[in-house]
Structure 1
Amino acid sequence: MSAVTISTDALYERVQNVIPRVEWATMADDVEAILRLKRERNAVILGHNYQTPEIFHGVSDIVGDSLALAREAQTVEADVIVLAGVHFMAETAKLLNPAKTVLIPDLRAGCSLAESITAADVRALKAAHPGVPVVTYVNTSADVKAESDICCTSGNAVRVIESLGVDRVIMIPDEYLARNIAAQTGVEVITWPGHCEVHERFTPFDIEQIRQDHPGVVVLAHPECPPEVVAAADMAGSTAQMQDFVTVEQPARVALITECSMSDNVSAVNPGVEFVRPCNLCPHMKRNTLAAIRAALEHMRHEVTIDPEVADRARAAVERMLAVR
C-alpha cells in the first residue's frame, strides 16, 4: 500500500457511500498534495454545500451554506483562505478578512444571480423608491453590497427583514427568493428579475413526478425556486436547513430540490436515508476541482482583491447581517 493511500484512507471513509474506491484512487494524489500544501501555506479551505464530495468531505476545513461560511470566515486564523465556491463567496470572505490572502481556484466560477444586477441598478432602484431599505442577497458582487443597507442569505432572510421593523423593502436580486420571503413575512417586497440558473429550472410538474415515482418521498425545496415549486414542497429552506432536517428527522426517502452535489454530501453522512436525485448542476460550482484547488495553493493564484472604498461599505452591509441572530 502506497504512502498516499495510507494518508488518504481515513478521508475516504467519509465518502465511501458516494464515491467508489476505484474513483477515489484517481483523486488520492491531489488530496494528499492539498493536505500538504495547506500545512505549508497555513491555509484553510472553505467548501460550499454544492461542492462535490471529494472537495466537501475530503479537503475542506469549514463547510456549509453561504451564511455559515460568512460567519466562520470571521474566525479563521490561517494566513490563506481558499474559497471552494463561487466568486461572490470569495469576495465575502475577503471583506471579512481584509488582511488575509483569499484565493478562488477558478476565476470563471461566477453566479447568474450576481451577474443579474449592478451597482448602478441598485442606485436606480433607490432613486425610484427613496427611503426604502435595500436588503441584498449575499449572492451579489461587493459593488452591489456596497450600495445596500444590509445583506441576507436564504437561511436568515426572514430574520433580517423582520429586524428592520418596516413594512416595505427592496429585496434584490433573486425575484423568487424575495417573493417567497414576502409570503412568510407579510412585508411588501420590491423585487428585481434575477434568478438562479439552477433553481429556476425546477417546476411543479417535477415535484408531482417525483411523488408519483417515489411514493412517500419528503420533498425539500430551496427558496430560490419559483413560489409554485416551494408551495408544492413539504418544506422550504436553505441548504443548511435542509441538511439539518434530514439529519434530525431521518426521513426514509427524501428529494432535495436544489443543486446536485447537495444530495451527495448529505447522503454521505446519512446512509440510512434514500435520496431521490432530481439533478440540476451549477456549472460555476463545478469549476472547482481538486486539481484547481491544488494549483491555487501551489501557485498562490487567483487572489481576490476589492477596492478599499467599496470594501468598507460592502463590509458594513455584511456585518449588519451577521449581527442579526
Structure 2
Amino acid sequence: MTNDCISMSMDLPLAPNPRGKIVPKVFSEQQLEEEAIRLSEVIRQPKRWTVEHCKTIAPYTLEINQLKKEKDVYLIAHSYQTPDIVYGVADEVSDSYSLSKSARDAEQQIILFSSVRFMAETAKILSPDKLVLHPSPEAGCSLSESITAQDVRDLREKYPGVPVACYINTTAEVKAEVDVCVTSSNYLKICENLPGNKLIFVPDKFMGEHLQNSLRGKKEVIIYDGVCEVHALFTGEKVLSWKERAKNIGIDLQVLSHPECAADVLEESDIIGSSEVLIKESIRLGQEGMTDIMLITECGTADRVMAETKQKLNIMGTCVMCRHMKATLLEDILQALREPRAEQIIELDQKIIEKAKFSLDEMFRYAEL
C-alpha cells in the first residue's frame, strides 16, 4: 500500500542528511537501489523520504546491519528516533518500559542504545556485564538534567519515611537514591500500590500533577518542578483551539496526549498514555473510522503511526521535535559500531549500579503485580 492513504495536516521537517564525517563502505548499485526501495516502503512517507534520498543513506544502513551481525550487537531505539534508524537498523523500537525489559533480557553481549543518555545508562544498570554503547554522548534530557541525587536526599530529609518514586527520565545517580522507578506506561499503577498514604514523585511536575488528580482522596503526592522541554510547549488553550477549529468544519478530532503534558492539555485529551499506547490507539481509532487525530507528543510518534497504520489518517497539529532525541544520525551509529570512542561506552560506578538496579527491579515487580 502506498502512502496516498495518509493525509497530513502536520508539517514535518525534511528528512535529515548525513553530515559526511563518516564515509560508509562501497556497495553495488543494485544493493543501494534495493535498500533504498526497502527504506522508502517501510517508512511510508515517499514525499519526505524519497527513494533518491533513501539511496543516500542506504550505504549507512547496509553497513550498520552488516556490523550488527558480525559483532552480535542488539540495537535498540526509542520511538522518537528518526525513521531511518527506527525502520532501517533498529532491532527493537518501543517506549522506555519495554526497552528497559529488552535491555535486561537481551542475549547479545553488546547493546547499542540509539536514544538519550539516561536510557543507555538504564541498559547498563540492568546489564552491568554487557558492553553498552551510546552513539551520541551529547544527547541529554531536560527532565534528567532537572534533578540531582542531592535533590532527592534533601527531599528524603524533609519528608522522612515517605517513599520516593522517580520517572525513568533520570540519571543513574538519581535512580540510586529512590525506592522505585516508573515509566509513562506504569506510573499510575505503581504509585497507587506503593505503601502508605503519601509519596514523593520526581522529577516531572506535569506527570506529578496528573498523579495528584488521579490519586486524590487516596494518597498525597509531593511533586518536584522538572519538565520535559518538548511536552511543556503544548498548552490546553492551543489544544482547545484545534478542537474548536476542527469542529467548525465538521471534524471529530481525537486528541491523544503523553502524560508529560500539563494538566490543562490532559483535560482536553481523549486518550492519555505512553508513546506505545498513543501509537496503538491511533491505529485502533483509524480502524474504527475515527481518522482525524492529533498527537500531543514528540512528532517521532507521528512517524511511527504513519509507517504502521493501514488506514487513511489525517494527523493534525504541530510537529515538536526533541533536539536530544534527534541528535543521533546513522553515521553516529556506524562510527560507534566500527570503533566506539571512550565517551560512547557507558561506564557507571558499581555501587551506583547496585542501588539503581534495586529501584528498577522494584519497577518490574510492581508493574507485573
Q: TM-score, normalised by structure 1?
A: 0.96
Within the alignment, does 1:295 sit opposite 2:323 as a pair? no
User: Is contact 1:255-1:277 (8 Å) kept?
Assistant: yes
Q: Is the 8 A contact 1:263 1:277 kept in 2?
A: no
The answer to whether the 8 A contact 2:78-2:94 is kept is: yes
- The answer for the alignment partner of 2:355 in structure 1 is 313
Helix, strand or coil: the match of 1:14?
helix
Aligned twin of 1:218: 254
Distance 1:200 1:12 in 2: 32
The residue correspondences of 1:58-97 to structure 2 (distance < 5 A) are 58-97=88-127
Instruction: Work out whether 1:44 is the aligned partner of 2:74.
Output: yes
Once residues 268 and 176 of structure 2 are traced to their aligned partners in structure 1, the CA distance between those partners, rounded to angstroms, is 36
Q: Does 1:275 align with 2:335?
A: no
| Alignment-derived partner of residue 106 in structure 1 | 136
Contact 1:8 1:31 in 2 (8 A): no
- Structure 2 counterpart of 1:265, which letter? R
Of 85, 108, 129 in structure 2, the residue corresponding to residue 55 of structure 1 is 85
- Alpha-carbon RMSD: 1.4
- Once the two structures are TM-superposed, the CA of residue 40 in structure 1 deviates from its matched residue by 1.5
Letter of the 2:330 counterpart: L
Tell me if the contact between 2:44 and 2:306 (Cα under 8 Å) persists in the aligned partners: no
Rate the CA distance shift 1:262–1:139 in 2: closer, same or farther, 3 A.
same
Deviation at 1:170, TM superposition (A): 0.3
Instruction: Give SS of 2:77's match.
Output: strand
Retained in 1: the 8 A contact 2:206–2:227? yes
Q: How does 1:139-154 map to 2 (within 5 A)?
A: 139-154=169-184
The structural deviation recorded for 1:21 is: 1.7
With 212-221 and 164-173 compared, the bigger mean Cα shift is at 212-221
- Whose Rg is larger? 2
- Deviation sequence 1:143-181 (CA, Å, 0-9, x none): 000000000011100111122132210000001001112
Q: Could you report, residue by residue, the CA deviation over 1:21-69 in whole angstroms, capped at 9, with x for unpaired residues?
A: 2221111111101101101211011110111111111111011000110
CA distance in 1, matches of 2:304, 2:101: 21
SS of the residue 2:90 aligns to: coil
SS in 2 for 1:40: helix
Q: Which moved more, 1:16-25 or 1:27-36?
A: 16-25
Task: Determine the structure 2 residue equivalent to 1:233.
Answer: 269
Q: Distance in 1 between matches of 2:185 and 2:243?
A: 26
Offset at 1:264? Answer: 0.9
Give the match's secondary structure for 2:295: strand
**What is the number of residues matched between the two proteins?**
325
- Report the alpha carbon displacement of residue 12 of structure 1 after superposing the two structures with TM: 3.6
Residue in structure 1 matching 2:280, options 217, 228, 244: 244
| Distance change in 2, residues 1:80/1:73 (3 Å) | same
Q: For residue 269 of structure 1, what is the amino acid of its counterpart?
A: E
Q: Deviations over 1:181-229 (max 9, x none)?
A: 2212232111110000000010112212322443222111111111011
Q: Percent identity?
A: 36
Unaligned runs of 5+ in 2: 1-28
TM-score by length of 2: 0.85
- Structure 1 gap ranges (5+): none
